[in-house]
Structure 1
Amino acid sequence: MIESLFEFFGKYWGFIGSVISVFCALLMAWFSTRFTPRIEHEKVVQKVAEIDKRLSETEMQLEYMPTRDELHALDKTLEGLGARFGAMEQGIRRLETKTDMLLENELAQTHKGGN
Structure 2
Amino acid sequence: MDNWNYTELKFWFDVLQWLITIGLGLWVWISRAPRENKLAIAELEARLKKSEAEQEKLQVRLEYLPTKEELHQMGKELSSLASKLDSSAGRMKAIENKLDLLIENELRGNHAR
Normalised by the length of structure 1, the TM-score is 0.60
**Residue aligning to 2:96:** 96
**Residue aligning to 1:17:** none
- Superposition deviation, residue 84 in structure 1: 0.5
**Residue aligning to 1:44:** 44
The AA in structure 1 aligned to 2:97 is: T
Cα distance in 2, alignment partners of residues 50 and 41 from structure 1: 14
The AA in structure 1 aligned to 2:100 is: D
Larger mean CA deviation between 76-85 and 37-46 belongs to: 37-46
Please give the residue correspondences for 1:1-115 in structure 2 after superposition, counting only pairs within 5 Å. Answer: 37-108=37-108, 110=109
Cα distance in 2, alignment partners of residues 89 and 49 from structure 1: 55
Partner of 2:40, secondary structure, is helix
- Structure with more of its chain in helix, by fraction: 1
- Long gaps (5+) in structure 2: 1-22
- Superposition deviation, residue 69 in structure 1: 1.1
Normalised by the length of structure 2, the TM-score is 0.61
Partner of 1:66, secondary structure, is coil
- Superposition deviation, residue 106 in structure 1: 3.5
The AA in structure 2 aligned to 1:47 is: R
Partner of 2:66, secondary structure, is coil
Deviations 1:7-33 (A, max 9, x none): xxxxxxxxxxxxxx8xxx8xx69xx59
- Superposition deviation, residue 68 in structure 1: 1.2
Partner of 1:37, secondary structure, is helix
Cα distance in 1, alignment partners of residues 61 and 110 from structure 2: 68
* Larger relative contact order (Cα-Cα within 8 Å, sequence gap ≥ 6): 1
The AA in structure 2 aligned to 1:87 is: S
- Long gaps (5+) in structure 1: 1-20
Paired-residue identity, %: 23
- Superposition deviation, residue 86 in structure 1: 0.6
Aligned residues: 86
